Structure 1
C-alpha cells in the first residue's frame, strides 16, 4: 500500500531569496523615502548623509516615488511569504489511479488549487532543459491530449543530473516512458 502512493512536497514562497529581496527592498525604500522627505522638509532625516541638499523637484519627488514603490514591493513579497504562495504537493496514487497537483494561491474563494488527472490520460514524463541567461530545467506531466503540466516548483535551476534522476524515478514509479521536450 505504501509503495502505491508517492507524495512530493513543493516549497512555495518561503525561500531565502524572497527573504533577502524583501529586506533589501524595504531598507532601500525607507532610505529613498527619507531622502525625499529630507529634501522637502529641509531637515536631515538620514544620519549618514546630508539629503537636505537635494532639490525637491525633480530629485526629491523621484526619491519619494522610488521609495514608495520599493516599500510596496517589499510588502507584496512579505505577503507572498506569509501566505506561502505556490507551496503544496504532487501526489501520485496508483490505488485511486489519480495524479493530484495541489498548490496554495492568493487568499480568497479559490485559494486552494487542485488539479487531478487520471493515470490513464498520462502519456509520459517529460524533461525540458533550456540554457542561457535564464536557464529553465523542469519536469512535466505529458498528457495524451498534448498538454504539458509542470511538476517542478519555480526555483533556482536544479542540476541536470538531479533533474534527470527525479524524472526517471517518477517515470519508473508511474510505469511511464521518459521523453525530452
Structure 2
C-alpha cells in the first residue's frame, strides 16, 4: 500500500474525562467525604478531629452514624470519579483516511478500548445536533448507511456553536458529504 498524503488524513483528538470540571468535582467530593468521616469519628471518640466547629458535641446515634454513612458514600463516589479520571474514559480520536478509504473512531472505555471502523463510502452526511434547554446537547455525528448516527464529539460540556459548525463544515468538506442540521 503506498504511503498516504498528509492531506488525505484528518485526525481529530477527543477529550475524555480529564477535564478541569471533573477534577474539581472529584476534589470537592473527596474533601466532603473525608470531612463527614472525620465528623463521624469525632462524634464517636468525643474529640474534635476537625479544626472547624465542635463535632465532638454531636450525639453518636443518630447524628454521628448518619454523618459516617454520608462520608462513606462520598468516599466511594470519589473513588469511582478518580478511577474514571485516571483511566480517562471517553478519550480517543476520530481518524478519517481517504487513502485507505476508512474512518476509524476510537474511544477509551472503562474496561476496554472501543474501535469502530467504517468505510468512507458508507458515510452519508455529517450531522450537527443542537438542542438547548434543561439538558442541552451540541454534538457532531456521522450519518452512516444502515446504522445509527455515530457521535464524534465529547460527552459533557456543550461545545460553542461556532466551533461546532466550523468542525462540522470542515469534516463534511473533507469527506465530500452534505452537512445536516445547520
TM-score of the two chains, using structure 2 as the length reference = 0.93
Distance 2:51 2:9 in 1: 59
User: What secondary structure sits across from 1:65 in the alignment?
Assistant: helix
How large is the RMSD of aligned CA atoms in angstroms? 1.3
Q: How far is the alpha carbon of 1:23 from its aligned partner?
A: 1.0
What's 1:149 paired with?
150
Q: Pick the aligned partner of 2:96 from 92, 97, 102.
A: 92
TM-score of the two chains, using structure 1 as the length reference = 0.93
Give per-residue Cα distances to partners, 1:128-152, cap 9 Å, x unaligned: 1110122110000001225100000
What's 1:134 paired with?
135
Displaced runs of 4 or more, over 6 A: none
What's 1:125 paired with?
126
Distance 1:147 1:104 in 2: 20
Q: How far is the alpha carbon of 1:123 from its aligned partner?
A: 1.0
Distance 1:146 1:105 in 2: 21
Give per-residue Cα distances to partners, 1:85-142, cap 9 Å, x unaligned: 11110000111111100111124xxx22100111111111101111012211000000
User: What secondary structure sits across from 2:17 in the alignment?
Assistant: coil
Residue 22 of structure 2 is aligned to residue 18 of structure 1: yes
Distance 1:135 1:179 in 2: 18
Gaps of 5+ in 1: none
User: What secondary structure sits across from 1:161 in the alignment?
Assistant: helix
